[in-house]
Structure 1
Amino acid sequence: MAMPLFLDEAAIAPLIDMADAVDCLEQAFKRWRDPGVVNMVRSRARPPQGVLNLMGAVDGPAGVYGFKSYFAVSASVRFHIALHSAADGRLLVLMESSLFSQVRTGAASGLATKLLARPAASTLALIGTGRQATAQAEAVCAVRPIKRVNVSGRDPARAAAFAERLRRLLQIDVVVASDARTAVEDADVVGTITRSSTPVIALSWLKPGAHVNAAGANTSDRREIDPATLKRAAVLVTDDRAQARIEAAELMDLHAAGELSWDDVVELGDLVSSPVCFTRRSADDVTVFKSLGIAFEDVAYANHLYLRGLAAGLWRAEDFRTT
């Protein structure tokens, strides 16, 4: 009996490219309303050792389904994706997916930026300097002509080191701002990637026409955006409304207060399929993408990388079929 294919981070890394990841998600979300697409919202269990996260999706048109699991303990988190054939349930591949998850999260923000930010956007503000922040910057730079990134973080030394790494990677100007407001005020695109329990940006800081990607808070006790920004947004987008109902604290708060209808929250798949229906009314409109990270994105991207590896001859599907 042959073993299913196992891909560690080193095997996956050469296949990963941010522009390709954005394109993959854009093509995948064109299938969002297909009856064969099912997204299972994230489930969390909290034993004393840490937090177990489980999520799954079916991408029927692509012929696959899969599950993502990760266990977060005090100082580390390990991600894995199991991709299966929808035709017979066969396990195609088990992937380590820490780098994968960073890129996929960034790619979703990149896709939203591609569809919502002003075409000439040239300045990005990035609030947060953790492990996910680099991919957020890469994704926005992949879809807009960004010339400068303003960085803000709680630890000045860490922010300076992050800015230097980003400067070398992107080959553009990266500036450490004195505070979040200074970073945001002249930015065309704003990205938040924090674990904050209170908002890290405010509407009064935003430049007219700014687009915001809020990608850090995906639990009911975290909030990155102030209510005024959300209420002002001409277009308010999230990956999946069902998941937002239990994870997007900022939206949940407004809904509970009677200040937001879930029907006014656009799903990313609908934005991809009908961009002209959900567009700015003026160049000064503020737009917001509340990113949660959903299993459908993971399954679509995992299948994309698996197929790219097959096409490149890095592995052969017949070598890993069970008998």
Structure 2
Amino acid sequence: MSLILTRSVIRDLFAGGGGEGRGEAVEEVERAVGRAHRDLARGRAVLPAPPAMRQPAGDGAYLAMAAASAPDRLATVKLLADLPANRERGLPVQRSAVLAVDAETGACVALLDGAELTRIRTAAATAVATRALARADARTLGILGTGPLARAHVRALLPGRPYEHVLIWGRTPANAQALAQWITAELDVPAKVFADPRSVTEHADVLCTLTPSRDPLVHGAWLQAGQHINAVGAPPRPDHRELDTEAVLRCRIVVDAYDTARAKSGEVLIPLAEGALTEDAFRTELGSVLTGQAPGRTTDDELTLFNSVGVGLQDLAVARLLIDRAAERGVGLTVDLAG
């Protein structure tokens, strides 16, 4: 039998249940994602670079994001459709679904909608990286972007952390104001809207870039000693980036997975094509930092960058969590695909 988890069911499972709070659910996702990266570093998981299939006409692309994990006993593939033309149709630019099979028998375990899963696991990976790389005395969080990914990130980063202020910029001022009001009301942290990305960048101890930008929003001249930057929002395309070359060169780079970054991340591929950096500059993976195979932050003045492309192993880890939660609570639709 196979379990089907819709977006609404996944949202409810992430929100907590059985007396459990949303904060505890978010922390559980963070632990699952961190463990997955440690498993990758220790050779207990497999994560190939995702192949990209381009449409014969137009600029649409499809990515097959695969992974397998011995501890989680799953193999998964998320088919991600990245369709810029959907914006004019009033539809989401990115859509995805995750297929999970039993790693031993190959039986289909579950089919999950990918939207909410992707947002939450992406924010969890940022939280894991920020714990590992940001200064312990970081007090100001900067957010560039105001969409659902921004809300997922503040939910993952703020509770239980010592942030005293959130600084926000968005292309639409009204959306930025709405996000600031939500943060203050929901999470009880003061939030302020700034008029441009530079002002947020210059004043943030931890900066998250969460926009689908093709051209850089953050410039190296704006960075301050000791900052940690999470570059998250750009689509997995080699010609999209949120940081310019100078910003990347000023930072010590940690990636979620080298093979994926080497294939899909404009953040490193554009400077690489320019001859401004070498592949060795972005070989350090998050899992290696978490297991102590590579150092995290080495000095208070160091600039660190987590280049988050998003990987299938994160999807797998959260799919495992959702499948187990759904079974415990008796939710989701069960079907016999072989019937």
Fold shared per TM-score above 0.5: yes
In structure 1, the residue matched to 2:28 is: 20
User: C-alpha displacement at 1:124, in angstroms?
Assistant: 0.7
> How much does 1:320 deviate?
6.2
Aligned partner of 1:167 in structure 2 is 184
Is 1:39 the counterpart of 2:47? The answer is yes
Match of 1:222 in 2: 240
Over 3 Å counting, the alpha-carbon distance change for 1:68 and 1:33 in structure 2 is same
Q: Which amino acid aligns with 1:270?
A: S
Q: What secondary structure sits across from 2:79 in the alignment?
A: strand
- Native 8 Å contact 1:114 1:143 kept in 2: no
Deviation for aligned residue 1:318: 9.9
Per-residue displacement from partner, 1:152-206 (whole Å, max 9, x unpaired)?
Answer: 1112122222222333332211111021111122211001011222211123322
What code does the residue aligned with 2:239 have? D
Residue pair 1:58, 1:64 contacting (<8 A) in 2 also: yes
**Aligned with 1:224: secondary structure?**
coil
* C-alpha distance in 2 between matches for 1:193 and 1:105: 10
Displacement of 1:307: 1.8
Aligned 1:221-260 pairs, distance under 5 A: 221-233=239-251, 235-260=252-277
TM-score, structure 1 normalization: 0.90
SS at match of 1:110: helix
Taking structure 2 as the reference length, what is the TM-score of the superposition?
Answer: 0.86
Provide the C-alpha distance between the structure 2 equivalents of 1:153 and 1:267, rounded to a whole number of angstroms: 30
From 134, 153, 158, give the equivalent of 1:117: 134
* 32 and 101 in structure 1: CA distance in 2 versus 1, 3 angstrom threshold: same
286-295 or 11-20, larger mean C-alpha shift: 11-20
Indicate the residue corresponding to 1:66 in structure 2: 76
Name 1:56's counterpart in structure 2.
Answer: 66
Shift of 1:99: 1.0
Q: Which amino acid aligns with 1:28?
A: A
| Cα displacement (A) at 1:14 | 2.8
Corresponding position of 1:129:
146
**3-state SS of the aligned residue for 1:42?**
coil
1:205-220 equivalences in 2 (<5 Å): 205-217=222-234, 218-220=236-238
Q: Which amino acid aligns with 2:241?
A: R
- Residue of structure 2 in register with 1:198 after alignment: 215
CA distance in 2, matches of 1:316, 1:254: 45
Match of 2:18 in 1: none
- Which digits, 9 at most, give the CA deviation of each residue in 1:123-155, with x for residues without a partner? 111111122111122222246321211111112
1:222 is paired with a residue whose SS is coil
1:314 aligns with 2:324: no
Residues 149 and 210 of structure 2 are in contact (CA less than 8 Å); yes or no, is this contact kept in structure 1? yes
Q: Distance in 1 between matches of 2:82 and 2:275?
A: 34
* Alignment partner of 1:271 is 2:269: no
Describe the SS at the equivalent of 2:48. Answer: strand
- Cα RMSD of the aligned pairs, angstroms, is 2.3
Which portions of structure 1, spanning 4 or more consecutive aligned residues, are displaced by more than 6 angstroms? 316-321
Alignment partners' CA distance in 2, 1:219 and 1:192? 16
Match of 1:95 among 112, 120, 136: 112
Cα distance in structure 1, aligned partners of 2:187 and 2:100? 32
Matched, 1:297 2:295: no
Number of equivalent positions: 318
CA contact (8 A) 2:99 2:111 kept: yes
CA contact (8 A) 2:65 2:80 kept: no
In structure 2, the gaps of 5 or more residues are 15-24
2:20 match: none
Q: What's 1:7 paired with?
A: 5
CA distance in structure 1 between the aligned counterparts of 2:291 and 2:218, rounded to whole angstroms? 30
The letter for the 1-side match of 2:330 is L
